[in-house]
Amino acid sequence: MRLTGWWSRRSNPEKVELYTRWSYHLFVLLEVASIGLGVLGRTPMPLGGWLFLLVGAHAVLGGVLASRALDWTVGRRARPDRLMVAHGVASCVLAAVALALFRYGGPGDLEAAATMVVGTLAFGIGGVVLGLARTRHMLALVLAAGAGTAVVGLGLGLRPEEVLGFTVGVLIGSVFLAATSGFSGWLLRAVWELDAARELQARLAVAEERLRFGRDLHDVMGRNLSVIALKSELAVQLARRGKTETAVDQMAEVQRLAQESQREVRDVVRGYREADLYTELEGARSVLAAAGIACTVTAADVELPARVQSALAWVVREGTTNVLRHGDARRCSVSVSVSVAVGPEEGCAVLVVENDGADGGADVAGGGAGAVAGEGPGTGLAGLRERLAALDGTLEAGRVSGGRFRVTARVPVAAAGVVR
């Protein structure tokens, strides 16, 4: 676990970005190995050594450009326009130098010249494309590279078949790396945008719940408070006019309304804090399915006490919220059962929430991985345990085999009269 913790602790967008960045870092070594060493082995010294150094510098410049362009892709910095121009010009110059040396007796080996021309232009286009957002601009860049190769080759007096070979090679290599870079940039943007939308959805859900609670509270208290204010004002006026008995009657009515308001507020808060288990199960299935997570819900045909249902419903709500906000899950299962057999779980309602996103699950209910492992307090887990402890229940959360995370809640219930 320690060896892979640097990877498993990252979110999905961070994993995709890290993979993309290291792929382009490896492109630096790939360019040096495939082009630089190829030219070095087929070109006499010292010219071969100089060409190898130029290809190495070109590869490093491409790596720097890829890093800056990926930062632009995810919105962390401005587009590196100057670096894009510099890398494009360097690619064109190296390709032109290779064609000129091939024509005038440098690397006379056709394979070495083709490797340098095609390789430098293809890798150059691959780096520049990372800084482009429109497909037509990428296509225009590829066509310009092919046309430029043909024009320079004909201008140097190369044979038509040689010019055609260089041009076709440049087009094939450029299309491949342009498509690779364009898709990589698009995928990285899409993953981060989806993550932002997911976070926004969670925030909107919280805001919607706050609005709902505020609306319910306003509906309950608005009329009563208005009546209390009016009757209080009327009682004051009556008392000033000496109509004490009538004023007392009005204040008694104010007292009755205040007590009624207290009761209604308690009902609102109770409905807000106490959740129905089966409603939460259906809600979890619907919300997870909307997020693209396959959810299986298995509930025994049982009648649980209201307090037990409320406690278990909070476990479902918190666990589902965590899977949505922190997990990497693709599948989730929720099961509710009642044990009436003789054993350690006798007379217990058992709720199990399990998903295959072990990293996100470690933070279930806001507890965090440290809370599971005893490294931190974990307010979410602590809150759930307090709810269950009030009913002599227990909560267990942790990783299990197969990269899964499981939350198990047990609440004692009377065995008699449980099964319908």
Q: Which two tokens stand for residue 404?
A: 């899964």
* Rg of the chain on CA atoms, in Å: 35
DSSP 322-367: HHHHH---SEEEEEEEEE-SSSTTTTEEEEEEEES-HHHHTTGGG-
- Could you tell me the residue range of the domain that residue 43 belongs to? 5-198
- Residues 309 and 277: beta-carbon distance below 8 Å: yes
- Helix or strand (DSSP H, E) at 17: helix 12-31
Question: Is 303 within a domain?
Answer: yes
Say whether both 56 and 114 belong to one domain.
yes
Q: What is the largest CA-CA distance in the chain?
A: 121
Which of 408, 310, 300 lies closest to 354 in space, CA to CA? Answer: 408
Q: What values do phi and psi take at 404, rounded to 5?
A: -105, 160
Looking at the structure, do residues 358 and 221 belong to the same domain, yes or no? no
Residues 181 and 258 in one domain: no
Q: To the nearest 10°, the Cα dihedral for 143, 144, 147, 150?
A: -120
What pLDDT does 273 receive? 55
**Alpha-carbon distance 228 to 75, whole Å?**
55
Q: Alpha-carbon distance 330 to 289, whole Å?
A: 10
Residue 383 placed within a domain = yes
The span from the CA of 6 to the CA of 131, in Å, is 28
CATH code (residue 242): 1.20.5
> Does residue 417 belong to any structural domain of this protein?
no
Query: In the prediction, which pLDDT does 83 show?
Result: 92
Whether residue 12 is found in the same domain as residue 95: yes
User: What are φ and ψ of residue 344, in 5° steps?
Assistant: -65, -20
b/e sequence 120-154, b meaning 16+ C-beta within 10 Å: bbbbbbbbbbbbbeeeeebeebbeebbebbbebbe
Residue 134 included in any domain = yes
Tell me, yes or no, whether 69 and 100 share the same domain.
Answer: yes
Q: Is residue 420 part of a domain?
A: no
Please tell me whether residues 184 and 55 are part of one structural domain.
yes
CA distance 152 to 163: 9
For 149, residues 6+ apart whose C-beta sits below 8 A from its C-beta are 95, 99, 117, 121, 163, 166, 167, 170
What are the start-end ranges of the H helices in 43-109?
47-73, 81-103
Handedness of CA 407, 412, 416, 418 (dihedral sign): negative
Domain boundary among 250, 273, 296: 273
- 253 and 159 housed in the same domain: no
pLDDT given at position 231 = 80
Quick check: is 418 in a domain? no
**Rounded to the nearest 5°, which phi and psi values hold at 43?**
-120, 135
Strand partners, 337: 350
| CB 72 within 8 Å of CB 131 | yes
Length of the chain: 420
Gap between the Cα atoms of 30 and 33, Å rounded: 5
Q: Measured in Å, how far apart are the chain's first and last C-alpha atoms?
A: 45
397 and 314 fall within a common domain: yes
Nearest to 349 by CA among 335, 367, 330, 366: 335
- Whole-number Cα distances in Å, 308 to 17, 265, 276, 408, 418: 44, 23, 10, 14, 12
Domain boundary among 273, 294, 328: 273
- 154 shares its domain with 209: no
pLDDT in tens, the chain (420 residues): 455 566 777 778 888 888 889 999 999 999 888 888 888 877 778 888 888 899 899 999 999 999 999 999 888 889 999 999 999 999 999 999 888 888 887 555 778 888 889 999 999 999 999 998 888 999 999 999 999 999 999 998 888 998 999 999 999 999 999 999 999 989 988 988 888 888 887 788 778 777 777 776 776 676 677 778 878 888 888 888 888 888 888 888 888 878 878 887 777 676 655 567 887 888 788 777 766 688 888 887 777 888 888 888 888 878 887 776 666 778 889 999 887 654 544 578 899 998 887 654 444 333 333 333 333 333 467 778 887 888 888 899 888 887 788 899 999 876 434 443
Same structural domain, 98 and 20: yes
Of 306, 301, 393, the closest CA to residue 347 belongs to 393
Residue 336's φ and ψ, nearest 5 degrees, are -125, 130
Q: What does the DSSP 8-state code read for residue 411?
A: E
All residues at 6 or more sequence positions from 12 whose CB lies less than 8 Å from its CB, including other chains: 191, 195, 328
| Residue at 419 is within a domain | no
Residues 34 and 151 both lie in one domain: yes
Q: Which residues contact 49 (CB under 8 A, 6 or more apart)?
A: 40
Question: Structurally, how many domains does the chain consist of?
Answer: 3
Q: For residue 315, what pLDDT is reported? A: 87
Is residue 362 included in any domain, yes or no? Answer: yes
Same domain as 395, residue 377: yes
Distance (Å, whole) CA 338 – CA 326: 30
- State the pLDDT at residue 326: 63
Instruction: Say how many CA atoms lie within 13 Å of 401 toward its Cβ.
Output: 0
Say which residue the tokens 């809600």 belong to: 283
Q: Where does a domain end: 255, 273, 291?
A: 273
